[in-house]
């Protein structure tokens, strides 16, 4: 069956979060899934555990996926994202190191300001997306995806060794913290009850270390992966259960799992690495040109710049777009067709939108079909992969 779909105007992209090598080594082996510090907490709260990127994580709790999704939009939800990789880049040459492997302007970041950036290769492909924060404590705090843990860590460690061999002052530490995401319109109100800092002075993509509900040494970052206001809290592993329990005492807060996290990010037009962007897509093709720092574009001094920068001025072969339709939902790998019936692209992610009451998706189409409002067809019958 073929269904008509319409291109939506804009694709968003806010962030993703992470944990640590020591914790990873202690909590899993080759034969056992990794467990976050909240594993037993999830089981005690009826979490349905599934495998994700080598970790055992809750896909949902007693509430349905749809109920969790809507609760996040209307109130706030608590997500365990401790599977993410958290690292510190240290030393006086830390910015030099980071700018040698990402596309963003890290030098321009103010104290405690962060940005979404991308690791790229020399062919212009995206190796991963990550958040880099210039902390006032004298290091860069980096959060990247669990699915890219090994290659991200190897990339950073190898670059550290390379620069150290050249006499640079730089180092790397993996942060052995849990990571909790409190997301939704009432998240700041809920968190404010447990911190002395005025959260009104913590705008989007800024970060601060503070005590949270009695747990000291927490890094609170105003960011999220749901399209809602919220924070991600890097908390010492020993205090993770205490913090999660304290947050749940507020009736505004409910636990949410991977299923709601995926539909929330899709509804907001946010990428998932490995599905919507990968080593075979460039930032321009992935509609992520805004991550390229202006100074970096001019200097053309990031990996893949010779491929990526010219794409900013010309037409790329393919472009990531948002799609919307009614009827049967669009799923990953579904063919995208022109109105004449010619296959022109592929859906990378899709699901029914609980809020819009329509189906949303994203995928890649040739540049000439990427204008918002363009009508296309989606093949929604036949085998799914």
Per-residue pLDDT tens over the stretch 291-316: 999 999 999 999 999 999 999 998 89
Q: Give the residue among 77, 68, 80 at the shortest CA–CA distance from 354.
A: 68
Q: Is 340 annotated as a binding residue?
A: no
pLDDT, average across residues 37-50: 98
pLDDT score at 157? 98
The CA-to-CA distance between both ends of the chain, in Å, stands at: 16
Per-residue pLDDT for 382 more than 70? no
Q: Give the residue among 57, 61, 17, 60 at the shortest CA–CA distance from 33.
A: 57
pLDDT score at 21? 36
pLDDT, average across residues 58-71: 98
Per-residue pLDDT for 384 more than 70? no
Global model pTM greater than 0.85: yes
pLDDT in tens, 69-92: 999 999 999 999 999 999 999 999
3-state helix, strand, coil in the chain (%, to 5): 25, 35, 40
């Amino acid at each position: 069956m073929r269904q008509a779909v319409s291109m939506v105007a804009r694709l968003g992209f806010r962030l993703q979060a992470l944990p640590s090598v020591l914790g990873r080594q202690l909590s899993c082996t080759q034969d056992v899934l990794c467990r976050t510090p909240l594993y037993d907490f999830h089981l005690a709260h009826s979490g349905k555990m599934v495998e994700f990127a080598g970790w055992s994580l809750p896909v949902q709790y007693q509430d349905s996926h749809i109920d969790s999704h809507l609760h996040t939009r209307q109130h706030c939800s608590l997500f365990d994202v401790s599977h993410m990789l958290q690292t510190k880049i240290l030393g006086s040459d830390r910015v030099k190191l980071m700018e040698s492997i990402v596309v963003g302007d890290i030098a321009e970041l103010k104290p405690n300001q962060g940005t979404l950036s991308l690791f790229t290769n020399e062919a212009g492909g995206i190796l991963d997306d990550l958040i880099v924060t210039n902390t006032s404590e004298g290091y860069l705090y980096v959060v990247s995806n669990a699915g890219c843990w090994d290659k991200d860590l190897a990339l950073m460690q190898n670059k550290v060794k390379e620069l150290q061999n050249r006499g640079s002052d730089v180092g790397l530490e993996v942060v052995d913290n849990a990571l909790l995401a409190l997301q939704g319109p009432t998240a700041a109100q809920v968190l404010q009850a447990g911190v002395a800092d005025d959260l009104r002075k913590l705008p989007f993509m800024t970060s601060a270390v503070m005590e949270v509900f009695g747990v000291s040494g927490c890094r609170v970052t105003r960011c999220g992966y749901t399209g809602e206001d919220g924070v991600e809290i890097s908390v010492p592993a020993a205090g993770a259960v205490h913090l999660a329990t304290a947050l749940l005492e507020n009736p505004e807060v409910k636990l949410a799992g991977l299923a709601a996290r995926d539909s929330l990010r899709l509804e907001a037009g946010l990428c998932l690495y490995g599905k919507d962007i990968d080593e075979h897509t460039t930032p321009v093709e992935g509609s992520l040109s805004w991550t390229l720092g202006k100074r970096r574009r001019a200097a053309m001094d990031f990996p893949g710049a010779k491929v990526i920068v010219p794409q900013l001025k010309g037409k790329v072969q393919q472009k990531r777009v948002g799609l919307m339709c009614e009827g049967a939902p669009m799923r990953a790998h579904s063919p995208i067709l022109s109105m004449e019936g010619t296959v022109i692209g592929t859906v990378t992610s899709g699901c029914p939108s609980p809020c819009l009451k329509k189906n949303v998706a994203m995928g890649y189409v040739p540049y000439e079909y990427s204008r918002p409002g363009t009508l296309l067809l989606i093949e929604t019958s036949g085998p799914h992969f």
